[in-house]
Amino acid sequence: MSERLRAGPLTVAVLAGGRSAEREVSLSSGSGVRDGLLASGHQVLWVEIDEHGCWRHEGAVLSVTPGEGLLDADVVFPALHGPFGEDGVVQGMLEALDVAYAGSGVAASAVCLDKITFKQLMRAAGDVPQVDHVGLQEPRFRDDRDAVLEELAALGLPVFVKPAHFGSSLGIVKVSDDEELEGALEAAFAHDARVIVEALARGVEVECGVLGNEDRMASEPGEILLAGGESGWYDYEAKYTAGGMELLVPARVSQAARERVRELAIRAFAYAGCAGLARVDFFVDGDSVLVNELNTMPGFTPTSVYAKLMAASGIPYPELVERLCRLGLERWLAQTARDIGARAGRAT
C-alpha cells in the first residue's frame, strides 16, 4: 500500500439509501459515516441510491464502467442495509468496477443476510451453539402445511417468525398462541419466500462487534436492556425509537460468558468469510452462550450499537470509520496482487 493510502487523507465514496425497506436507516448510517470521515480529515463523495436503485451524485445520475472505479474514489463505504445493498448485490457491482470497499465481500454478505443459510453454515461448522430454529421455504409450507406446523410445534411457544432476508427487526412477529402462527407465517411469506421460525431463547441479549480482516479483534460485549423490561423484545421500535433500549457495556454476564461471546464472535466471523466488520448477536443465560445472527453492515450512526461497542473498546467513531476504509483498501490491494500473480503465472 502506498504511503498516501496507508496514512494520508482518502477520497471515500459513501453509498447510502437503496431499494430495501431499510432505506431510511441506511441514510442515517451514511450520514454518520460521512461526518466521521470528514472529522478525520478525509474527502467524502456522497452517492445516494434511490428507491428504484438509481445511483446519483450531486443530483446527477451516475454512469459507471466495469474496471474503471467509482468517481476516482480510493475506497467505497457501502452504508447499505438489507436486500439490494447488504446481500452481495452491490458488493458484486463494486467488484466489477474494481474498486476497494469497506466490509465483507459478495459471498459472506449474501450468506449472512440470509438467516437460514447463515445458521446452516454455523451448524455445519459443528462448534457454534445456536438458538433452536426451523427454516421454511414457501412451496413446502403451501404443499405440506400440517407437517410444517407439527415441526414448528416442537419449538414450543413463544416463537419469533422472521423473513429470512430482512434486517433491523423488520417484519418480525412474536407468536405466543398457536392460533396466531399461520397468520404470522402468511405475513412473513408476503415479504420473503424464505422464512425462519426461532424458539424463545432464555437469558439476556448480548452483542459483540468484530473488526479486522485476517487479524481480528472482538469488542467488549454489550447487553441490550429494553425499555419494556422482560415483557419487551428487540423489535424495530426498540432499536430506532429514542429511549427504546439501552446498551450496557460491559454486559452484566460472567467473565467466562464474556470471553465465550468474544471467542464465538470471531469464530462465526471467520467461518462466514467476513471482512472488515460485523456485529454478532447472542443470547446468554448464565455461562451458556447461543449465537443468533451476524450482521455484516450494522447500523452506523455514532450512537448505533456497533459504534458504541467499539468506542467502549478504545476506538472512537472517526477512527473506526477510517480504519474500516483502510481495511477495505488492504483487502483490495491483496486481491489485486493475487490477480496479477495469477495472470503472470498463466503467461509463462
Report angle CA 40, 42, 44 to the nearest 5 degrees.
125
234 is annotated as an active-site residue = no
3 is annotated as an active-site residue = no
CA 94 – CA 243 distance, rounded (Å)? 37
Q: Measuring CA to CA, which residue among 116, 196, 201 is closest to residue 148?
A: 196
292 is annotated as an active-site residue = no
22 is annotated as an active-site residue = yes
- The single residue of 216, 240, 244, 319 carrying the catalytic annotation is 240
Strands laid side by side in the 133-137 sheet: 133-137, 194-199, 159-163, 173-175
DSSP 156-180: -SSEEEEETT--TTTT-EEE-SHHH
Q: What is the DSSP letter of 139?
A: H
240 is annotated as an active-site residue = yes
CA 320 – CA 83 distance, rounded (Å)? 25
- The single residue of 281, 306, 322, 331 carrying the catalytic annotation is 281
Q: What is the DSSP letter of 51?
A: T
Measured CA to CA in angstroms, residue 152 lies from 103, 197, 228 at distances of 35, 8, 27
281 is annotated as an active-site residue = yes
CA 135 – CA 195 distance, rounded (Å)? 6
In single-letter form, the type of residue at position 22 comes to E
Cβ-Cβ contacts under 8 Å for 37 (sequence gap 6 or more): 10, 12, 14, 44, 77, 318, 321, 322, 325
- The single residue of 26, 28, 168, 292 carrying the catalytic annotation is 168
- The single residue of 20, 22, 313, 330 carrying the catalytic annotation is 22
- The single residue of 223, 293, 322, 330 carrying the catalytic annotation is 293
Q: What is the DSSP letter of 219?
A: P
Helices 115-125 and 255-271, packing angle to 10 deg? 110
- The single residue of 104, 219, 295, 313 carrying the catalytic annotation is 295
By the 8 A CB rule, do 197 and 134 touch?
yes
- The single residue of 194, 279, 323, 326 carrying the catalytic annotation is 279
209 is annotated as an active-site residue = no
183 is annotated as an active-site residue = no
Active site residues: 22, 168, 240, 279, 281, 293, 295, 299
